[in-house]
Structure 1
Amino acid sequence: MLRAAVCALSFWLAAGASAMSLPAQDLMRWIRSNGDHGALPFAIVDKREAQLHVFDSSGRLVGSSPALLGATLGDHIVPGVGERAQQGAVRADERTTPAGRFVSFGGINNTGEHVVWVDYDSAFAIHRLRPGRAFKTRVDRLALPGANGKRVSEGCVVVPVAFYEEVVQRYLGSGRSMVYVMPESSRISELFRGL
């Protein structure tokens, strides 16, 4: 089990930089060059590619992974979605993964699971793939190339269990961190000024 996790982690580290899209690389350089992350670990969510890239506090890439994203296209947070999420009543048109720059922190959700809260008030988090009826289907979706088929969550960024435990929880989940979510319906320079 440990050997498999180490092999998977080695793959993520080796494939990470080459897997980054050019816009994600531009954002990474901008964050590093102006110190926007404030010496905190940070992550870039590339929604157009359905990828999560995680960096340590010095800006070194520590891993990349495919990710499942919100089922509904859009870069906004729907007002009141956080309250409805706690009741399991998020409508199909509210399942967006919002774009922006977020100060995040590790925490526990309402079922006792460790998550990285990207925007607590809207219940927007990065979490591991959860067991259940859809587990196998979602594992298969994560293995698909590109972003097609990866729009299935209620808005959260969902990654494989081993990647969450070995990379996300370790670097983003033990304190404060920054999460940059790239837009899909507008230009990245409109969201991150000076890029």
Structure 2
Amino acid sequence: MGWKARALAAWWLACGMTVAAAAGADKGRRGMPVDTREMAQWVMETDDAAGRPFAIVDKKAAQLFVFEAGGRLVGSTPVLLGATPGDHSTPGVGQRAQTGDVGLHERTTPAGRFASAPGRNIDGEPVVWFDYGAALAIHRLRPGSARERRQARLASATPADNRASLGCVVVPVAFYEKVVEPLLGRVRGVVYVLPEKRPVRDFLEAM
């Protein structure tokens, strides 16, 4: 058993139901779901981000949470995710994404731990890559004929209609400029995308 697995086991044993209870109270105060709270605590307990800023994508809640290197939550926002639920990417989807030749069943936002890096897409737009090989990034809502409909999805009260992208994590323009860009858009970081098909505890144990 590696040191992260040992740390995780000790963490679960020490926290137990207290973590869930604290997360429930924190949800009302900061809008942080239980899964996100547990993930953030694990990152800090294990120093998994190694002193870098990090973000957590909670796919079940369709929200993005951005943290400073020290663990302080800087901001959160609803996001648009891959149109199809799923925790894995289809092999080769990154190459086809550049031309839009991606089937509906391939439009997933995969779960995992990703080393993020600031960069630009093929149009020169600043983005935060979190899975460059699969052409997946955190980016702002783009202009276009579907913009108003996507804005409505972001503003809705339910995450059920936030499945609209090819797999990228799409955020409001103001949030990207005020929160994402200053932290993840200038230095390397870590992006944790939580699973939607299995418990977060299983996800952590596999890391």
Q: Same fold (TM over 0.5)?
A: yes
Q: Distance in 2 between matches of 1:146 and 1:35?
A: 33
Q: Which structure shows the bigger proportion of residues in helix conformation? A: 2
Aligned length: 181
Q: Contact (CA 8 Å) 1:16, 1:64: kept in 2 or not? A: no
| C-alpha displacement of 1:123 | 0.3
Q: Contact (CA 8 Å) 1:81, 1:94: kept in 2 or not? A: yes
Q: Distance in 1 between matches of 2:34 and 2:133?
A: 31
| Within-5 A mapping of 1:1-195 | 18-193=30-205
Identify unmatched segments of 5+ residues in structure 2: 1-26
Q: Distance in 2 between matches of 1:191 and 1:124?
A: 20
Deviations 1:32-58 (A, max 9, x none): 111111110000000000000000111
Q: Contact (CA 8 Å) 1:41, 1:55: kept in 2 or not? A: yes
Identify unmatched segments of 5+ residues in structure 1: 1-14
Q: Does the residue aligned with 2:161 lie in a helix, a strand or coil?
A: coil
| Aligned-residue identity in percent | 53
Q: Distance in 1 between matches of 2:125 and 2:53?
A: 21
Q: Does the residue aligned with 1:133 lie in a helix, a strand or coil?
A: coil
Larger Rg: 2
CA RMSD of aligned residues (A): 1.6
| C-alpha displacement of 1:161 | 0.2
Q: Distance in 2 between matches of 1:17 and 1:39?
A: 26
| C-alpha displacement of 1:146 | 2.7
